[in-house]
Amino acid sequence: MTRFFFSVGCLLCLLFPFVLWAADQSELPDRSSPVSVEAEQLFVDEETGHYRASGAVYLHQDGTVLHSDELVWDRSSGEIQAQGAVRLERAGEQVFGRSIRYNLDTDTGLIEDGRVFLAAQNLTLRGARIEKTGQDSFRIIDGQFTTCDGDNPAWSFRSQRLDVTVGGYARARHARFYLSRIPVFYLPYMIYPAKTERESGLLIPRLGYSDQRGMEYSGAYYQVISRNQDATYSLDYLSELGVGQGLEYRYLFGRDNAGQAKGYYIAAAGGEDRQAASWRHTGTLPGDFRLSADTEYVSADDYFSDFGDEADEYNKDQTVSTIALSRKWQRYNLVGQIRYSDDLAGDDPDTLQMLPQLSLDAARRRIGGSVLFSALRSDYTYFWREEGLTGQRLQLRPLLLAEIDLWRAATLVPELGWTERHYWLAAGDRHLQHGQYDFAVGLSSQLYRTYGLQRGKLRHALEPEVRYAYVPQAAQDDLPEFDSVDRIDAVKQIDYGLSQTITVRSDSPDRASHSTELLWLRISQGYDLLVDGTPTERLTPLRGQLTLLPDGVFSFDVDTQYDLSAEQFVDYRGQLQLADQSENSLAVQYVRDKSLDEESDYGQLDLAATWLQPVYLHYRNRYDFATSEFLEQVVDMEYRHQCWSLLLSLRDREDDRSVMLTFALGGIGPVGSIGAQIDSQ
């Protein structure tokens, strides 16, 4: 059959000017864009202004496209009636139906046995009758909505009447929630976000059980305050501990002033109520001052043991709060901070606080045009505690050094420093002073060779170095000992080492050149001249450091020390990582340190697997080799559907076992953790 092409404002202006454009354009007040129609058959009724098309009908106006088997278009009113495999596409919307009545001018219409897909929200609406009541609003009769694909969605809400506003909400009365075709629960009234931006609303609760907390229910309400502020109110029911309420406030002001504040209160079940709070902030103040804060408070010593999920949370034995204000200039750096710590292992009145601590440092600067440089480090600290010695300390350390180039083969750097300390003690109103010099000289060089590659270069560099340091023995018994800075140990030692680096520079016509460090290896050792003993006993542990990054998948880091005199490793820290772009990863970490009062010997294994998609697995194992005990085992199993996910978390640690279940629907986020976890980011 002959196929006709109809174009209002283009071809038909020439072929049939009497049909449309011979009429005055004022008859089409709301239509400024031309309309194009393609069909196998096209008929024009000049008296009524109706256009009838059949057979693979295609209509286009500006950003609106319609496909159907049959079409009737009223030119004067903009009304369209289409039947048979109707598909209407416009501005991120796709409308499908058995038949449709649609007005091009008012963007309203009626769809029978229809389906609407909103791409930005990934939201699908279905109904026996769908009314498009405005540019961004729909009313669905006997319908459903979901974020799942397919004719039988994994989940859906169904109701006799649904009202949906794009960029707003979907609302329904007497709604029923379905899993596939199975009704699960009933809601007398329901509201669901149909927005692409963050929106206020309830989060899906989290359920679980743990030995310490008992049965758990964690729910939360998320509130958008403004574009740069939001908050979350949480409510937790813990059968063994009580009912907890939490509030978290997040903000971003100006260019980079960002932070979050958290508060939590739990009404204990038969015990003592507990509270917790934290505040974290980073940002720039007027005058280029930098403010940072990391503060936390808990009212009970066992708070983190009860509410922490990660090892660095439930093993906490103290809280540390720091607020710092800093300012950098071209050469100087000024930092002022207050630091308050609370011992959770017991009420220790001897805990030392730094209220405040000020430091002013001057970076290294060349003196005139000579080879000499000068630098300065200084700090002032006020030490306070409830019981015990308190006082103030001022420390000044000027440094004079030189950089001497030895025939472009090596660099000699002698250093001469002076450490001046002043103390003002509250007890007896005493003032103490101590000054001490130190000397060091270092010699280093760099040897390298470059090898040409097919697309780039490989550079191998060797950096040998040797350094002698001397600090004389000085009587310091009359000085207070607030921290390790108050004792300057005598030093008379030679340190030597060799570092080598392999770097690859890649040159590609498709992208800018870039360099990658494949290997860094350093071997170092010291010879302590103050040790009475054999030459072997004077040797410090031999230290080896290696970082291996051959590609973006594999990495290996190791830092180990071997005592030649004792013929044993005294410190070993190693980590191996494998990761691909599909979220599969393996990380193995091992730490052994015999230099501490209590030997540390443990390992950690982290494994993430995605090859069982849509099931994602994560496993963590922390093991203490010194006691031959498992410190912690964690198994996370997540099923990710296109429109929902289910996460099951199992944790087993020394004094607690827990199981948590988290469910999330597309468009509604879950509660990530109980509100009591003030230390989580």
Per-residue pLDDT tens digits for 313-341: 777 778 899 999 999 999 999 999 999 98
For residues 538 and 562, the answer to whether their CB atoms sit within 8 Å is no
Q: Provide the phi-psi class of 509: left if phi over 0, else alpha when psi is between -120 and 50, else beta.
A: alpha
What is the predicted pLDDT for the residue at 249?
Answer: 95
Give the 3-state secondary structure of residue 313: helix
Q: How many helices (H) and strands (E) does the chain have?
A: 4, 41
- Which has more pLDDT, 644 or 490? 490
- Which has more pLDDT, 442 or 344? 442
Question: Which range, 17-21, 310-314, 529-533, 665-669, is most confident?
Answer: 529-533
What is the predicted pLDDT for the residue at 434?
Answer: 93
Distance from C-alpha of 40 to C-alpha of 85, rounded to nearest angstrom = 16
- Which has more pLDDT, 494 or 200? 494
Mean pLDDT score, 184-199: 79
Q: Rounded to whole angstroms, what are the CA distances from 631 to 344, 520, 655, 657?
A: 21, 33, 9, 12
Distance from C-alpha of 595 to C-alpha of 563, rounded to nearest angstrom = 11
Give 6's strand partners: 37
Distance from C-alpha of 380 to C-alpha of 424, rounded to nearest angstrom = 11
Q: Is the pLDDT of residue 26 over 60?
A: no
224-233, 544-553, 597-606: the lowest-pLDDT one: 597-606
User: Considering only CA atoms, which of 580, 584, 575 is closest in space to residue 555?
Assistant: 575
Confidence bin at 597 (pLDDT 50/70/90): low
pTM reported for the whole predicted model: 0.76
185-189, 353-357, 525-529: the lowest-pLDDT one: 185-189
- Tokens 């058995």 appear where? 98
What is the predicted pLDDT for the residue at 418?
Answer: 96
Mean pLDDT score, 381-403: 93
- Which has more pLDDT, 107 or 292? 292
What is the predicted pLDDT for the residue at 395?
Answer: 96
- Which has more pLDDT, 73 or 522? 522
Q: Is the pLDDT of residue 202 over 90?
A: no
Confidence bin at 502 (pLDDT 50/70/90): very high
Mean pLDDT score, 368-388: 93
Residue type, 48: T
Q: Is the pLDDT of residue 27 over 50?
A: no
Which residues, 6 or more positions from 26, have their beta carbon under 8 angstroms from its beta carbon?
A: none
What is the predicted pLDDT for the residue at 10?
Answer: 33
What is the predicted pLDDT for the residue at 206?
Answer: 87
Q: Is the pLDDT of residue 19 over 80?
A: no
Q: Is the pLDDT of residue 139 over 70?
A: yes
**Which domains are delineated in the chain?**
1-104 (2.60.450.10), 317-482+491-529 (no CATH)
Mean pLDDT score, 356-377: 94
What is the predicted pLDDT for the residue at 308?
Answer: 74
CA atoms within 13 A on the CB side of 485: 16
pLDDT digits (tens, 9 = 90+) for 408-418: 899 999 999 99
What is the predicted pLDDT for the residue at 604?
Answer: 94
Confidence bin at 154 (pLDDT 50/70/90): confident
Distance from C-alpha of 381 to C-alpha of 358, rounded to nearest angstrom = 6
Confidence bin at 13 (pLDDT 50/70/90): very low
For residues 400 and 374, the answer to whether their CB atoms sit within 8 Å is yes
- Which has more pLDDT, 96 or 345? 96
For residues 465 and 496, the answer to whether their CB atoms sit within 8 Å is yes
Mean pLDDT score, 301-319: 77
What is the predicted pLDDT for the residue at 307?
Answer: 79
**pLDDT mean across residues, the chain:** 85
Confidence bin at 152 (pLDDT 50/70/90): confident
What is the predicted pLDDT for the residue at 3?
Answer: 36
Is the N-terminal amide bond of 614 cis, ω within 30° of 0?
Answer: yes
Is the N-terminal amide bond of 153 cis, ω within 30° of 0?
Answer: no
118-122, 379-383, 492-496: the lowest-pLDDT one: 118-122
